[in-house]
Structure 1
Amino acid sequence: MHPAYITPSPTPGHGHRGHRPAAVAAAASSSSSAFTVICVLHSLIALFCGSLMMFHARAIYSLGHGTDAAERLLGSTPQDRLLIRTSDSFAGLLLLAIGLLLLMVSHIKDRDFQDFFAKGCTLLHVCVAVWRVSFERRVEDLAGDCLRQTVGDFLLALSWVLFVVYSWREKYD
């Protein structure tokens, strides 16, 4: 009989190489599913915000800042309006790309990569919050929403921090 057709008999005390105990596999699975959920939620947020920025910027500005501030934020000359619309479209496209990237990354099961990715996303959200506090609050029309958006950035960073803490807890228990 060909050796590939021979199946080893399960004998106690003789584990197979490459197989993890059930508890370790279950812990990796729960960490992996938490990573998937966080990635998908962040992806949906990025896709939604990106599509709104690309196609409904005027409505979003009016809703977030009021109609007067929205008119000022959209520019006063046709060249300013074109430049701002182009900028908003590229920012929305970037958010769509980030959303798609997050969807692709959500299926990676490597724990080390998940930890690295979560730390990078945390750093990114904290940098955006620092940028908002440092620069955006100086713009008169944006200053009113700066605190709300900064809190949102910290909450998004917090979701990644909680994942890292959760995965560390599983790793060292």
Structure 2
Amino acid sequence: MATRTSSPSPSSSPPSSCFMLICLLHSAIAISSGAFMMFRMKEIYTFTHGIETASKLLGSTPHDQLLIRTSDSFCGLLLFTIGFLLFMVSFVEDTDFQSFFAAGCTFLHVFMAVWRFWFETRVEDLAWDCIRQTVGDILLALSWVSFLVYSWREKYD
């Protein structure tokens, strides 16, 4: 009785370690940012915006402060969960899925940069910080674009 071994077809390329690296980098960023948002938001606001702006962003009444802390905690939990999902996705070896996922992440980062530029610049206390965050979103999108270019080059060479 002969055993059948399946070998990859000559047209399929091996899974990319570049995809794993980018996913793990984005995962680390999302998990650490999410944890800081959940547990140390006051310190983050003070560090990034200054004491005066941080006091405005944290609310003036106890009710506002509770709502803002709750909102920040849920946003941090969502970001932490996204980081955990990115960690899990980093181990997927299907090259078609990797390209699809990278294109989707590129779209999300570009959309986020556009949203920040058009809407957050209108908030007086956040306008100066918005440019820095928009540049960060574009750099994160460029990491996915570099993977797409690399994978397309490997696929069509």
Q: TM-score, normalised by structure 1?
A: 0.86
- Structure 1 gaps, min length 5: 9-15
- Structure 2 gaps, min length 5: none
Whether 1:147 and 2:147 are equivalent positions in the alignment is: no
Whether 1:125 and 2:109 are equivalent positions in the alignment is: yes
CA distance in 1, matches of 2:63, 2:109: 32
CA distance in 2, matches of 1:134, 1:89: 25
User: What root-mean-square deviation, in Å, do the aligned CA atoms of Structure 1 and Structure 2 show?
Assistant: 1.7
The structure 1 residue matched to 2:64, chosen from 67, 80, 84, is 80
Deviating beyond 6 angstroms after TM superposition, the runs of 4 or more aligned structure 1 residues are none
Deviations 1:76-132 (A, max 9, x none): 111110110000000000000000000000000001100000000000001110110
Q: Name the SS of the counterpart of 2:133 in structure 1.
A: helix
Partner AA of 2:98 in structure 1: Q
The structure 2 residue matched to 1:105, chosen from 89, 95, 98, is 89
Equivalenced residues, count: 157
Partner AA of 2:14 in structure 1: A
Q: Which has the larger radius of gyration?
A: 1
Deviation at 1:19, TM superposition (A): 3.9
Deviation at 1:17, TM superposition (A): 5.9
The structure 2 residue matched to 1:39, chosen from 7, 19, 23, is 23
The structure 2 residue matched to 1:52, chosen from 19, 29, 36, is 36
Whether 1:18 and 2:7 are equivalent positions in the alignment is: yes
Q: TM-score, normalised by structure 2?
A: 0.94
Q: Indicate the percent of aligned positions where both proteins have the same amino acid.
A: 63
Whether 1:96 and 2:85 are equivalent positions in the alignment is: no
The structure 2 residue matched to 1:136, chosen from 120, 125, 129, is 120
CA distance in 2, matches of 1:110, 1:41: 19
Query: What is the match of residue 162 of structure 1?
Result: 146
